[in-house]
Structure formats: structure tokens, C-alpha cells
Amino acid sequence: MNFLKKFFAAAVMSATIFFACEVEAADYYSAIYRTVNSYNSNGVECDWITRAILYASSEYQVDPILITAIMEAESGFDFHATSPVGAIGLMQLMPETAAYLGVNPHNPLENVLGGTRFIRDQLGRFKDWGIYSVTDAVAAYNAGPGAVEKYGGVPNYSETVNYVIKVANNYKKLLALVQS
């Protein structure tokens, strides 16, 4: 588990150093679009998803690369994704979470905004947890904040451990695209 936290923290720290430099919105757009397009060959849908991510990022002040990395892990950018446990849409919101956030999970824009707000809330909730706070926030997106608090960090659930690793890998890949 310690390796996992160090891995994700290293990815986020390298991003923090990188984001200290100004990055043009076009660079984000291009990197996000390319990533979405690797899953979805419909150019109109890729453009819509990319713009929705950038809008949600601006609206909630969340790193667009983090939103994209989560969405990639959650739904593979599939508007109609559903999980066996009932999660819905691009950001795979559970109906209860969507209701709490006041969004319709079947509406793609509300789904993206709701998921972004939820990760923003987790980032705020765990911000004082030290160097691994982003890792813990990502784990909370998957397992719920109560589980992260109960375990004092990433719960030892194989699904959540694999999820955090997947999001970290997605993040690093996207960061490399933005930097290129």
C-alpha cells in the first residue's frame, strides 16, 4: 500500500511542478481529446466530452487531467456506461451520490459536473492528510469517504487499490501528452 501512495504522490507532485508553468488551454484540449478519441472515434462526442471536462474543471477548480483520468478509469468515456452495482454515465455516479449532489446522472453534463464536484469535495475533505491527500481523495471517489477515513487512507480493497493505480497511470499518461 505504501508503494501505491508513493506512486500516486509522485505523479501528482510532478504535475504540481508542471502546473506551476502556464499551460495553454489548447494543450489541455488536445491531450484530453486525444485520450478520449483513443476510446471513442466519434469526433463530435470526443469534442463534447473534452469541452465538458474543461468546463467542469473551470467551474469547480479541479485539475482537468485528474477529471479525465478518473473518467477514463470509470467509464472509458462511454456516455451510456453502467456498472453492475448501478453506477451511471461518464463519471459513474451512484444514484444516491447523484441525488446528494442534486444532479441527474443520466444527463451527461450533469453527470460530469456532479462527478467533478464530488472529487473536488473529496480533495477538500482529505487536503490536510499530508502528501497522500490526492491519493486518498481518489480512493474516496471509488470506495467512499467513510471507508478511507475508517482505514486511515486507501482501503485494502482490491478494487480500490487497482482503481487508484489505474487513475495514477492515466494521470501520468495524460500529463505526458500535455507536456509534449
Catalytically active residues, by annotation: 74
d(CA 132, CA 27): 27
Tell me the pLDDT of the chain averaged across its residues. Answer: 90
pLDDT at 2 > cutoff 60:
no
pLDDT band at 3 (very low <50, low <70, confident <90, very high): low
pLDDT at 64 > cutoff 70:
yes
pLDDT band at 7 (very low <50, low <70, confident <90, very high): low
In this prediction, residue 15 carries a pLDDT of: 47
Cα separations in angstroms, 85 against 67, 70, 100, 122, 175: 22, 18, 18, 21, 31
pLDDT-above-70 percentage for the chain: 86
Q: What is the mean pLDDT of residues 80-99?
A: 97
Which one, of 132, 115, 126, lies nearest residue 59 by Cα?
115
More confident residue, 13 or 52: 52
d(CA 2, CA 128): 18
pLDDT at 164 > cutoff 60:
yes
In this prediction, residue 14 carries a pLDDT of: 43
d(CA 145, CA 119): 10
Domains and CATH numbers, the chain: 2-179 (1.10.530.10)
Q: Residue 92, CB half-sphere, CA atoms under 13 Å: how many?
A: 21
pTM, two decimals, is: 0.88
In degrees, rounded to 5, the angle at the alpha carbon of residue 109 between the alpha carbons of residues 81 and 11 is 75
In this prediction, residue 73 carries a pLDDT of: 98
pLDDT band at 180 (very low <50, low <70, confident <90, very high): confident
